[in-house]
Amino acid sequence: MSNNYIVETLGFRRGLFFTLAMGYCLVPLMILVGMLFQLHSLHYFVLFALAVFVSLRLHQQRSTLFGSKKTDTKKLLEAGEILAKDFVIVAIIYTLSLVVSSYLKISPFLF
Protein backbone atom coordinates (compact mmCIF):
# COMPACT_ATOMS: atom_id res chain seq x y z
CA MET A 1 0.00 0.00 0.00
CA SER A 2 1.32 3.39 -0.96
CA ASN A 3 1.89 6.29 1.44
CA ASN A 4 0.11 8.57 -1.03
CA TYR A 5 -3.19 6.70 -0.85
CA ILE A 6 -5.42 9.77 -0.44
CA VAL A 7 -3.55 11.72 -3.13
CA GLU A 8 -3.87 8.80 -5.55
CA THR A 9 -7.56 8.38 -4.77
CA LEU A 10 -8.62 12.02 -4.84
CA GLY A 11 -6.01 13.61 -7.05
CA PHE A 12 -3.96 16.65 -6.07
CA ARG A 13 -6.69 19.26 -6.55
CA ARG A 14 -9.42 17.40 -4.68
CA GLY A 15 -6.90 16.30 -2.03
CA LEU A 16 -5.98 19.93 -1.44
CA PHE A 17 -9.67 20.86 -1.11
CA PHE A 18 -10.17 17.93 1.30
CA THR A 19 -7.27 19.19 3.44
CA LEU A 20 -8.69 22.71 3.50
CA ALA A 21 -12.16 21.48 4.43
CA MET A 22 -10.79 19.31 7.24
CA GLY A 23 -8.80 22.26 8.58
CA TYR A 24 -11.90 24.43 8.77
CA CYS A 25 -13.85 21.57 10.36
CA LEU A 26 -11.31 21.45 13.18
CA VAL A 27 -11.99 25.04 14.28
CA PRO A 28 -15.10 24.07 16.34
CA LEU A 29 -13.06 21.30 17.98
CA MET A 30 -10.38 23.83 18.92
CA ILE A 31 -13.06 26.09 20.41
CA LEU A 32 -14.43 23.13 22.36
CA VAL A 33 -10.96 22.33 23.71
CA GLY A 34 -10.64 25.91 24.90
CA MET A 35 -14.03 25.76 26.62
CA LEU A 36 -13.41 22.37 28.23
CA PHE A 37 -10.07 23.41 29.68
CA GLN A 38 -11.35 26.93 30.48
CA LEU A 39 -8.44 28.55 28.68
CA HIS A 40 -7.67 32.26 28.66
CA SER A 41 -9.33 34.49 26.06
CA LEU A 42 -5.94 34.71 24.33
CA HIS A 43 -6.65 31.21 22.98
CA TYR A 44 -9.80 32.38 21.18
CA PHE A 45 -8.15 35.54 19.88
CA VAL A 46 -5.25 33.57 18.38
CA LEU A 47 -7.64 31.00 16.91
CA PHE A 48 -9.67 33.76 15.26
CA ALA A 49 -6.51 35.47 13.96
CA LEU A 50 -5.22 32.21 12.48
CA ALA A 51 -8.55 31.48 10.78
CA VAL A 52 -8.48 34.97 9.25
CA PHE A 53 -4.84 34.47 8.18
CA VAL A 54 -5.61 31.19 6.39
CA SER A 55 -8.74 32.66 4.82
CA LEU A 56 -6.78 35.62 3.48
CA ARG A 57 -4.09 33.34 2.06
CA LEU A 58 -6.79 31.26 0.35
CA HIS A 59 -8.33 34.44 -1.01
CA GLN A 60 -4.93 35.41 -2.47
CA GLN A 61 -4.68 32.01 -4.20
CA ARG A 62 -8.34 31.88 -5.28
CA SER A 63 -7.68 32.14 -9.01
CA THR A 64 -5.32 29.17 -8.90
CA LEU A 65 -7.35 27.04 -6.49
CA PHE A 66 -10.90 27.78 -7.54
CA GLY A 67 -10.33 28.56 -11.20
CA SER A 68 -11.17 26.23 -14.03
CA LYS A 69 -10.42 22.53 -13.79
CA LYS A 70 -7.74 22.98 -16.45
CA THR A 71 -5.48 24.92 -14.05
CA ASP A 72 -1.79 24.42 -14.70
CA THR A 73 -0.33 21.71 -12.45
CA LYS A 74 2.76 23.80 -11.81
CA LYS A 75 0.63 26.65 -10.42
CA LEU A 76 -1.27 24.20 -8.21
CA LEU A 77 1.99 22.76 -6.87
CA GLU A 78 3.28 26.26 -6.11
CA ALA A 79 0.03 27.13 -4.33
CA GLY A 80 0.21 23.85 -2.40
CA GLU A 81 3.76 24.61 -1.33
CA ILE A 82 2.79 28.09 -0.13
CA LEU A 83 -0.22 26.76 1.77
CA ALA A 84 1.85 23.96 3.32
CA LYS A 85 4.28 26.54 4.71
CA ASP A 86 1.35 28.57 6.02
CA PHE A 87 -0.13 25.52 7.71
CA VAL A 88 3.18 24.86 9.47
CA ILE A 89 3.18 28.46 10.69
CA VAL A 90 -0.42 28.06 11.88
CA ALA A 91 0.41 24.82 13.73
CA ILE A 92 3.40 26.37 15.50
CA ILE A 93 1.52 29.51 16.51
CA TYR A 94 -1.51 27.55 17.70
CA THR A 95 0.68 25.23 19.76
CA LEU A 96 2.42 28.21 21.35
CA SER A 97 -1.00 29.74 22.02
CA LEU A 98 -2.10 26.59 23.84
CA VAL A 99 1.07 26.61 25.92
CA VAL A 100 0.68 30.28 26.86
CA SER A 101 -3.05 29.88 27.58
CA SER A 102 -2.36 26.87 29.78
CA TYR A 103 0.36 28.75 31.61
CA LEU A 104 -2.00 31.68 32.17
CA LYS A 105 -4.53 29.27 33.62
CA ILE A 106 -1.94 27.87 36.04
CA SER A 107 -0.55 31.24 37.11
CA PRO A 108 -3.25 33.85 36.45
CA PHE A 109 -1.48 36.65 38.32
CA LEU A 110 0.18 37.76 35.06
CA PHE A 111 -3.08 38.97 33.51
| 60-108 pLDDT, tens digit each | 888 877 776 676 778 888 888 888 899 899 999 999 988 888 888 887 6
Nearest to 16 by CA among 99, 100, 92, 81: 81
Cα–Cα distances in angstroms (integers) from residue 34 to residues 19, 39, 90, 95, 108, in the given order:
23, 5, 17, 12, 16
**What is this structure's pTM?**
0.76
Mean pLDDT of the chain: 82
Nearest to 36 by CA among 109, 107, 98, 100: 98
19 Cβ contact partners less than 8 Å away, ≥ 6 residues apart: none
Predicted confidence band at 14 (pLDDT cuts at 50, 70, 90)? Answer: confident
Give me the residue spans of the domains in the chain.
Answer: 5-110
- For CA atoms 5, 8, 9, 12, the dihedral sign is positive
